[in-house]
Structure 1
Amino acid sequence: MKLYKFKISGKTSVFKRSDQNGSNTYSYTLLTQQSLKGILGAIIGLKGYDNSGLSPLIMDQSLEFNEVFKNLKISIIPVFSEDNFMYYYNTRTNATGLANKKDAREGVSLLLREQWIVNVEYMVYLDVSLIEEKYREKLEHNLKNEEAEFIPYLGRREHFAKVYDFELVDGIKEEGKAFVCISTLPRADVNGVEQISKDSDDIIAFSEISPSSITPDFYHTFKEFVYTNQKVELNETDVEGQYYRVNEGTLCLY
C-alpha cells in the first residue's frame, strides 16, 4: 500500500488541554489526531475554526476539514532528541480590561501562564485511500511542493508549523502480534509491553488522553494513546489500529 510520508516541526507548540479554563493552561505533549487534520485542512484550504462560520451571524456551522478527513488514517511518530520536546512556561498579560473581573471592578489585567512545548518534530504517515480524489491530489501536490493555502500552525497561529520532506512510500501489512511500534498507538490495542532495553535510562514509555475527533456539535471525543520504544504485544481481537511495516519499522495507522 502506498502511504504519504512527511515531516512536521516547529520551534514551539501549544495544544491547549480542553479540560481546563483558567489563568494557568497546559498543553498536550504530542501532536493530536484532531490537530493534524486541521494542519492538513490548512494546507489544502479547507474551512477550519477561524473561517468555519462559528458565529451567530453566519449560518454555515461546519468544520470542512473534519468532514473531508473523517476516513483518513494517520500515524504520528515523535522524533526525540536531547534538546526537543522540552517544557517552557510563558507568561502573558491581557491588559485590555475585557478578560477579567475582580471584586465587581472591571478593567483588571489578567496574567496568563501557558505551558509551551519547545522544539517539536514529527514524522507523519497517511493512508489517503479513502479520501476523495480531488482532495487527495491537492494534498499530494501541496505537500510535495511545500505549499499551503493557509498558514499551518501547531495549536495556535503564532506557533508556526514547517511541513516538508514529502515522499510516497510502500507499507506492508504487519502480520505479527509482538513488535516495537515506532509510532503512537491506541492504548486499547495493547495487551502487554516487554522490556527490551538493558539500561532503564533508555526506556521511553508515555501515555496521554487526547482529542481524536470532534462531533458535529463541536464536542471532542478522546482516546488514550501510548508511545514506547519497547516491544508491545497486541490484543488477539478488537484491535483498532492498522499496523504496517515501512523502512523505519512497524507503525500504527489509526
Structure 2
Amino acid sequence: MKKIVSVDFYAQFGFLKKPDINDGIYLTYNCLHKPALQGILGAILGFGGYSLEGEMEENQIPEYREKLGGIRIGISPIKSSNGNFKKDVIRFTNTVGYANVIVKKKQQIPSTLIINEQTLIKPSYRVFIELDINNEIESKLDLCLKNQEAEYIPYLGKNDHQLWWENYVEWNIDDTDYIPEKEYNLDSIFLKPYEDEKLLKSQRRVSLGDSKEKFAYFERLPKGWHKALPHYELGEFLYTNYQLQPEAKLSGLVKIYNVQRGNYVIQLF
C-alpha cells in the first residue's frame, strides 16, 4: 500500500554545487534536486555513501542510491521569492596541505588556495515522498521523518550546512494518475515536456488589476543519474503559479488532499 507524506526541509545555509563550473567561483543550484534529496534520505536512514578513493570498486553504486533509487518525489520551494532564494558569495581559504601547493616546472611551490563559493541563504523546501508502507526500508523512512530521527546528521550540500525538518503531513491520494480536463495549478516543480511556451500560452498577459503576483521560475536541474556514467542526468524544470493548460500532457501528476492543508496537484518523478 502506497501513501504520500511531506516534510519541510530547511537550513541556515546551503550549497548544491554545480559540477560544471569551478573556475574562480563555485556556483550552486537554487532548488533542491532529486540526487541531493536521495543523499539526505540516505543519511537519515544511515546508508553508506561515497567512500574514499580506493575503497570503492569502479562503477560501484553507493548504498543510498541503490536502495532509494526507485522512490518517487516531488519538490516545492517554500518561503522563497517566487521560487528563488537569496544567495551570497563566501570567500574562504582552504588550509588543507595538498590544496596549497602548485606545481611549476616540476617543482612544488607553496601557495594559498582561496575559494569563492556561492551560498544559499535560508533555503527551505517542501518535499513530497511516495512510500510503500509494506516495504521495510520505506516504512522505516516514514517513521524517521515522522519522529524527526536520523542515523547520520543530514546536511544541505556540504557538512557545514546542517539540515532540519518539520511539518510532517500524511496526504490522501485522490488520483494517482491525474489527467486534467481544464486549466489547473501545479504546486511543485515539474519537468517541461518541450521547449516551447504552450504551457502558459493563454496567460502571457496579466491584468494590471490582478492582485496576485504571477511568476515563472526556470532552472536546469539534475533529475537523476546517468545510466552509464557517474554524472547527473539533467532536465528543464519549471515552477510557477500560473495555471497550466491540460493539453501540456505532463507525466507523473498526482492529486492529493489533506483536511487541514487542502487540495494539491504535484508531479512525482
TM over 0.5: yes
- Tell whether the 8 Å contact from 2:221 to 2:237 is kept in structure 1 after alignment: yes
1:54, CA displacement in angstroms? 4.8
- Tell whether the 8 Å contact from 1:13 to 1:117 is kept in structure 2 after alignment: yes
- Of the candidates 161, 179, 187, which is equivalent to residue 192 of structure 2? 187
Change (3 A) 1:197 1:154: farther
SS of 2:141's equivalent? helix
SS of 1:25's equivalent? coil
SS of 1:98's equivalent? helix
1:205, CA displacement in angstroms? 1.0
SS of 1:28's equivalent? coil
- Tell whether the 8 Å contact from 1:2 to 1:127 is kept in structure 2 after alignment: yes
- Deviations for 1:22-79, whole angstroms, at most 9, x for unmatched residues? 2311100010111111111111111123xxx352244483211112222211110111
User: In the alignment, is residue 150 of structure 1 matched against residue 162 of structure 2?
Assistant: no
User: In the alignment, is residue 44 of structure 1 matched against residue 45 of structure 2?
Assistant: yes
User: In the alignment, is residue 220 of structure 1 matched against residue 235 of structure 2?
Assistant: no
Change (3 A) 1:132 1:110: farther
CA distance in 2, matches of 1:19, 1:186: 21
- Of the candidates 53, 56, 66, which is equivalent to residue 55 of structure 1? 53
> Unpaired runs of 5+ in structure 1?
none
CA distance in 2, matches of 1:80, 1:170: 24
Q: Which moved more, 1:74-83 or 1:116-125?
A: 74-83
Structure 1 length-normalised TM:
0.87
RMSD: 2.7
1:206, CA displacement in angstroms? 0.9
SS of 1:24's equivalent? coil
CA distance in 2, matches of 1:45, 1:235: 42
User: In the alignment, is residue 250 of structure 1 matched against residue 265 of structure 2?
Assistant: yes
Instruction: Map 1:62-73 to 2 at 5 A.
Output: 62-73=61-72
In the alignment, which residue of structure 2 is the partner of 1:233?
245
1:116, CA displacement in angstroms? 0.6
- Tell whether the 8 Å contact from 1:96 to 1:107 is kept in structure 2 after alignment: no
Change (3 A) 1:106 1:217: same
Q: Which moved more, 1:80-89 or 1:145-154?
A: 80-89
Read off the aligned partner of 2:222 and give its amino acid letter: P
Instruction: Map 1:99-118 to 2 at 5 A.
Output: 99=99, 101=102, 103-104=104-105, 106-118=109-121
In the alignment, which residue of structure 2 is the partner of 1:133?
135
SS of 2:64's equivalent? helix
Larger Rg: 2
Change (3 A) 1:117 1:97: same
CA distance in 2, matches of 1:70, 1:188: 22
Instruction: Map 1:14-93 to 2 at 5 A.
Output: 14-49=15-50, 53-59=51-57, 61-81=60-80, 85-93=85-93
1:217, CA displacement in angstroms? 4.2
Higher strand share: 1
- Tell whether the 8 Å contact from 2:11 to 2:124 is kept in structure 1 after alignment: yes
1:82, CA displacement in angstroms? 5.8
> Unpaired runs of 5+ in structure 2?
none
CA distance in 2, matches of 1:45, 1:216: 26
How many residues are treated as equivalent by the alignment?
A: 249
- Tell whether the 8 Å contact from 2:185 to 2:244 is kept in structure 1 after alignment: yes
